[in-house]
């Protein structure tokens, strides 16, 4: 089964509209790969079935996850770069539940719920003009490297 188009080009990059059941981070990775996006920023919002945030524990060098269901994604922002020759998405966000309680942090997973998630991607480079992430051994986390483009 062929899936419908998830994005259209704009003068500055792409507009992506994802629908129920779509994996937001996976679709951003696919867009980067398919459109040869070397570097970009993005913003988005919409309704999500599940969102998993992570808080990075520097002593353990891993994320402590927390998952929430049926939320409005009030705000999402992030960057697209590359790590080990694959797209690397770094995103943070804030989501609100039906009681208007907010949760936020580093986005580990995000699935669209009823409705949609709209994302504006602003491209800063194509092809060989890539931003790269590498692990900073002093903290054990991926860091965007401006000097390795």
Averaged pLDDT for residues 106-125: 96
Confidence of residue 4 (pLDDT cuts 50, 70, 90): low
pLDDT score of 73: 98
Overall pTM > 0.85: yes
Lookup: tokens for 37: 């996006």
Which pair of structure tokens corresponds to residue 19? 């629908």
Strand, coil or helix: 94 = strand
**Longest pairwise C-alpha distance within the chain:** 46
pLDDT tens profile 52-71: 999 988 888 889 999 999 99
Half-sphere exposure of 119 (CA within 13 A, CB side): 33
Write the class of the CATH domain 7-148. alpha beta
Domain ranges in the chain are: 7-148
Q: Which of 120, 110, 125, 127 is nearest to 8 (CA)?
A: 120
Please give the radius of gyration of the chain, using alpha carbons only, rounded to the nearest integer.
15
């Amino acid at each position: 089964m062929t899936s419908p188009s998830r994005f259209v080009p704009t003068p500055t990059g792409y507009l992506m509209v994802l629908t129920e059941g779509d994996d937001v981070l996976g679709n951003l990775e696919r867009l980067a790969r398919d459109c040869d996006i070397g570097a970009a920023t993005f913003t988005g919002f919409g309704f999500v079935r599940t969102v998993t945030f992570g808080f990075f524990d520097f002593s353990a060098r891993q994320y402590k996850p927390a998952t929430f269901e049926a939320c409005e994604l009030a705000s999402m922002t992030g960057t697209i770069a590359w790590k080990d020759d694959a797209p690397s998405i770094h995103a943070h966000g804030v989501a609100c539940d039906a009681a208007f309680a907010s949760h936020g942090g580093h986005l580990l997973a995000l699935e669209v719920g009823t409705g949609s998630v709209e994302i504006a991607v602003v491209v800063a480079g194509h092809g060989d003009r890539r931003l790269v992430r590498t692990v900073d051994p002093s903290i054990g986390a991926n860091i965007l490297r401006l000097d390795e483009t």
